[in-house]
Structure 1
Amino acid sequence: LRPCYLFICSFMVAAPIFGYLGDRFNRKVILSCGIFFWSIVTLLSSFISKEYFWLFVLSRGLVGIGESSYSSISPTIIGDLFTSNTRTMMLSVFYLAIPLGRDSWTRTAGLAGSSFLPRRGGAFKSKQRAGWLVPNRSYVFSSLASAAVSFATGAFGIWIPGYLFRARVVQKTAEACTKEICSSTDSMVFGAITCVTGLLGVVIGALTTRLCRQKTERADPLVCAVSMLGSAIFICLIFVVAKKSIIGAYVCIFIGETLLFLNWAITADILMFVVIPTRRATAVAFQSFTSHLLGDAGSPYLIGLISDALQQKYTTSALWRFLSLGYALMLCPFIIVLGVFLNNSSLFMYY
């Protein structure tokens, strides 16, 4: 987990710096330099041998720095180019790169697109809040709700495959594994589900928001709140059905993650609406910082800590090892429900 955590921490710390620079200096230069640095480090890290694992860990931190420049500035360019429903759709196309893997085509797209940058706020026609971020309560609440989503996705990515493997052991369809690294198909299946649900969630979120805007001006936070509540319900059902049916658990994971991923593009669109163009890069960066700090930077460790504490007295029981991890993961839907309330707060401050 060390490379993963170093990547998240370096990404989180560097994002506000690049956000500040992106609002004040040439975004084309910052974006291009970040992508070039990120790509070179990724290429060179593929030649690191296992004797220099510490160097590989360091390279993950450097990749995080390069990626933070891209992730902080790119959405603001889209926000300057488009407005209203068109902006939502374009942000959705951009965020499709997350489940597909940003290490592939987003760098190429970023290099090509950086030659055609608009002026800041070039397509800016909507209402705005105050120029700085802390007094902007819509921004603060939507960022905290985004952190709730990040908390759940971070914990799920690390622990759900292991939880499903423990379920198989309880069902006696798999042998208990005492090795540090265990062979299981659950990681591959869960990864494939996450890819598909990420794609579906972003597309469904954009289309749903577009339809709801015909009925209410507050469609964005409303769709986020409803989808998060539905996601929390299906995530709770995972821990109910997993003991009896792995297939049932996968169905609940599929629906729960799809509903959870509806928020990606919509949250970015809310930010574009409530923050003035000359502060958008800073806003995106601090939202990213908050999401990682309160979300996936600590949630896997916290879940593991709770699970270890619960199973301390019954370390030899396969059933209790399964149940203790499930009880710890139940924290995720509660955090998501907290995000629902934060989105509701944003709902009443949105205009």
Structure 2
Amino acid sequence: MAAGIFVWSLTTLLGSYVTNFWAFLVMRSLVGVGEASYSTIAPTIISDLFVGDTRSKFLALFYFATPVGSGLGYIVGSEASRVMGSWHWGLRVTPVFGAVAVLLILLVVQDPPRGESEGAHLSATSWWDDIKSLGKNKSFVMSTAAYTAVAFVARALAWWGPKFIALGLATQQGHQDVSLDDVSYIFGLIAMIAGLLGVPLGSFLGQKLRVRYQRADPIVFGMGMLFSTPLVLAALFIAGWNTTTCFVVVFFGQVLLNLNWAIVADILLVCYTVIPTRRSTAEAFQILFSHGLGDAGSPYLIGQISEILKKSFSTPAAFVEGAMVLNSTVSSIVSDFVTSLPD
């Protein structure tokens, strides 16, 4: 984990100094490598240290860093860029926190034996046996599919949300000079507070309802997604006529969206879904699919859909042509991803 965060922080810092597009792309790709090496291991260590509701609480504490950190990133990044007069400084702040995390991991964290929290030390099975078992595990497959959908929505909202809201606010009388940086700052603050409330709320609801309803976790997960959809959609329309209402609706939509982060970890990592020796592999594959088919392409696909919808307002023929291009693009991405998977 320490090595992963070190690579993560170092490549983030180096990326702020490169001037070539391809060099910048390489640095950002290596950021993902560092992130993956850390985020696949940390939840499994928590699962090996705790059990039952205590595990759920600590996983909630860990996963609430995702939305809160994302929101804080908007605030710190935008302010650093504004104060220093360059977006590069938004990347140069991150390594400071990374260095602190590396020191804490090296000095504090210990790696417990697999299955220690369940009262047993289990022997590892082969990687291929783990893959075959996970492929037959319906809870793992379906929760991964749902988590991929959440990642798709969350990333697209984080990427396009501030810009779309800024465009909507600019149509209001007296708001024509609205700043994207100001909107990003408020959006990040909302995302951070929504994460602080939504993640522990999801974990709390799952723990309380699990006593009476065995399938409480997936129900809370699904209902959060279901009810967040109309709120986020409504906020995009409200941006054109009322600023305060728009941000309030976005806040409640993000609270509901954040219910899932700790719950999906519970579904994946508790002992009755994936055995302790397969937790890291399960976490790795869930992250692979959620990023590969979820948040990695969602900003691009949403942008393509936006362009198609713009054309559809001009001529029907342009809409059909744009739809064909989008279909070809999506098919190509999915085909390339499936081809890259092992047999």
Give the TM-score normalised by structure 1. 0.72
Question: SS of 1:185's equivalent?
Answer: helix
Cα contact 1:97–1:106 (8 A) shared by 2: no
Partner of 1:347: none
Question: SS of 1:101's equivalent?
Answer: helix
Partner of 2:141: 140
- Pairs within 5 Å for 1:192-231: 192-231=189-228
Partner of 1:299: 298
Partner of 2:43: 75
Cα contact 1:35–1:111 (8 A) shared by 2: no
Code of the residue aligned with 1:91 in structure 2: it is: L
Cα contact 2:198–2:255 (8 A) shared by 1: yes
Partner of 1:101: 69
Partner of 2:257: 260
Post-superposition CA distance 1:129-184 (Å, at most 9, x none) = x961110011100111111111111111111111112212322333389xxxx744
Partner of 2:90: none
Partner of 1:159: 160
Cα contact 1:165–1:184 (8 A) shared by 2: no
The 1:249/1:73 distance shift into structure 2, 3 A limit, reads same
Unaligned runs of 5+ in 1: 1-30, 316-351
Cα contact 2:56–2:262 (8 A) shared by 1: yes
Cα contact 2:164–2:236 (8 A) shared by 1: no
Partner of 2:337: none
Determine whether 1:311 maps to 2:319: no
Cα contact 1:37–1:66 (8 A) shared by 2: yes
- Per the TM alignment, residue 107 of structure 1 is displaced from its structure 2 partner at its CA by 4.3
* Cα separation, 2, equivalents of 1:175 and 1:283: 49
1:121 alignment partner, one of 115, 118, 124: 115
1:63 alignment partner, one of 20, 31, 35: 31
- Per the TM alignment, residue 112 of structure 1 is displaced from its structure 2 partner at its CA by 3.8
Determine whether 1:290 maps to 2:284: no
- Per the TM alignment, residue 237 of structure 1 is displaced from its structure 2 partner at its CA by 2.0
Post-superposition CA distance 1:181-218 (Å, at most 9, x none) = x7441111111111111121111112222221222222
* Cα separation, 1, equivalents of 2:155 and 2:252: 17
Code of the residue aligned with 1:185 in structure 2: it is: D
Question: SS of 2:41's equivalent?
Answer: helix
Post-superposition CA distance 1:90-122 (Å, at most 9, x none) = 1111113223438536545433444x1110111
| RMSD across aligned positions (CA) | 2.7
- Per the TM alignment, residue 69 of structure 1 is displaced from its structure 2 partner at its CA by 0.3
Determine whether 1:189 maps to 2:186: yes
Q: Which 4+ runs in 1 deviate beyond 6 A? A: none
Code of the residue aligned with 1:244 in structure 2: it is: W
- Per the TM alignment, residue 223 of structure 1 is displaced from its structure 2 partner at its CA by 1.3
* Cα separation, 1, equivalents of 2:152 and 2:111: 33
Post-superposition CA distance 1:39-72 (Å, at most 9, x none) = 33334445x25x3454333222112111110001
* Cα separation, 2, equivalents of 1:307 and 1:275: 40
The 1:108/1:250 distance shift into structure 2, 3 A limit, reads farther
Amino-acid identity (%)? 42
- Per the TM alignment, residue 32 of structure 1 is displaced from its structure 2 partner at its CA by 3.1
Partner of 1:343: none
Cα contact 1:161–1:186 (8 A) shared by 2: yes
Code of the residue aligned with 1:60 in structure 2: it is: R
Partner of 1:110: 105
Cα contact 2:114–2:277 (8 A) shared by 1: yes
Unaligned runs of 5+ in 2: 71-93, 121-128, 315-343
* Cα separation, 1, equivalents of 2:258 and 2:40: 19
Code of the residue aligned with 1:221 in structure 2: it is: P
